[in-house]
Amino acid sequence: MRIGVIGAGLMGATHARLLTGEVPGAELVATADPVRPATYKDGLELIASPEVDGVVIASPAATHETYTLACLEAGKPVLCEKPLAIDAAASLRLVEADTRGLVTVGFMRRCDPGYVGLKAQMDAIGPPVIVHCAHRNPSVHEFFDSAMIITDTVVHEVDVTRWLLGQEIVRVQVMTPRPSSRAREGLRDPQLVIFETEGGQLVTVEAFVSAGYGYDIRCEVVGETGTIELPIAVSENFQQRFEAAYRDELQAWVRGEPGATAWDGYAAAAVCAAGVESLNTGQPVEVKMVDRASIKGA
């Protein structure tokens, strides 16, 4: 597959590097970025190029909807970094537009060897009742605000929960202890997020983005007859921790294997919206989602 990557920032550069030699069947033929060195300044030109068969979108979130729609209009498979779009309403427009299943969302943990192993063991612990997660980053950039701890950080646990349990999340509650003295002024960090699934399971997520000591992702699934845990692998940052996941995600996409769909991107956005509302109100919030059956092709 001849691939074009839109966005030459951290994630775009990571995808471009992996596509150059690490992913059999993939050939990086073009890049686009308005300010950094790239083949095109405009992502729409890259999408229109007859040289490009498939597109990876790793530009700022506000551009995702436009670029994804252009890929759909051009009939080209697209791997869009999370978030799929700026909010749930925009994500839903993409679900409706993706009648041919051309959209994959970059929820790379589904390809992480640790998570893949965890999912493979789910049958060994009986019906799952509780999941405990922790998502700790050493630090975040100065523009990172309290809501982004939900929309940028916990969004991965939203997707992992839906993927591992095969259930939609119906309610979210966010609680915050006193902020860490290491958290930037005004940042409500850490946060404790609780999801309730449609099947009545509970998921706890400790999100702590000023954890200092490293990038640390944990997940324990408690079933009726046992528990299983993600191997602990404290790393320097998420690129290092999930290097294999990013590579395997690209490989699966190039092979045409199913990954996270536009619906998964929409569901994650809807859960995050409830999470941000709970963060702001201190109350549990119901997730508002359209009925999947009402959407053709979702």
Binding mask 208-247 for ligand ISE (x = CB under 6 A): ------------------------------x---------
Residue 239's alpha-carbon distances to 84, 125, 245, in angstroms, are 19, 31, 9
Which range touches ligand ISE (CB under 6 A), out of 72-80, 152-160, 174-182, 265-273? 152-160
* Closer residue to ligand ISE, CB minimum distance, 76 or 156: 156
Least Å from the CB of residue 203 to ligand ISE: 17
Least Å from the CB of residue 236 to ligand ISE: 12
Name which position in 14, 49, 153, 261 contacts ligand ISE (CB under 6 A). Answer: 153
Q: Is 163 exposed, middle or buried (0-12, 13-18, 19+ CB in 10 A)?
A: middle
**Counting contacts by CB under 6 A, is residue 156 touching ligand ISE?**
yes
- As given in the structure block, the two tokens for residue 192 are 């404790």
Least Å from the CB of residue 152 to ligand ISE: 5
Separation between Cα atoms, residue 95 and residue 118, nearest integer Å: 28
Look-up: residue for tokens 């979210």?
A: 172
**Counting contacts by CB under 6 A, is residue 137 touching ligand ISE?**
yes
* Closer residue to ligand ISE, CB minimum distance, 33 or 189: 189
Strand partners, 193: 174, 205
Walk across the sheet containing 2-6 and list its strands: 27-32, 2-6, 54-57, 78-81, 103-106
Give yes or no for a contact between 172 and 285, defined as CB atoms under 8 angstroms apart.
yes
* Closer residue to ligand ISE, CB minimum distance, 40 or 215: 215
Residue 247's alpha-carbon distances to 33, 131, 148, 261, 275, in angstroms, are 22, 27, 25, 18, 30
Least Å from the CB of residue 198 to ligand ISE: 26
**Counting contacts by CB under 6 A, is residue 146 touching ligand ISE?**
no
* Closer residue to ligand ISE, CB minimum distance, 44 or 147: 147
Separation between Cα atoms, residue 91 and residue 185, nearest integer Å: 32
Residues that bind ligand ISE (CB under 6 A): 137, 152-153, 156, 238
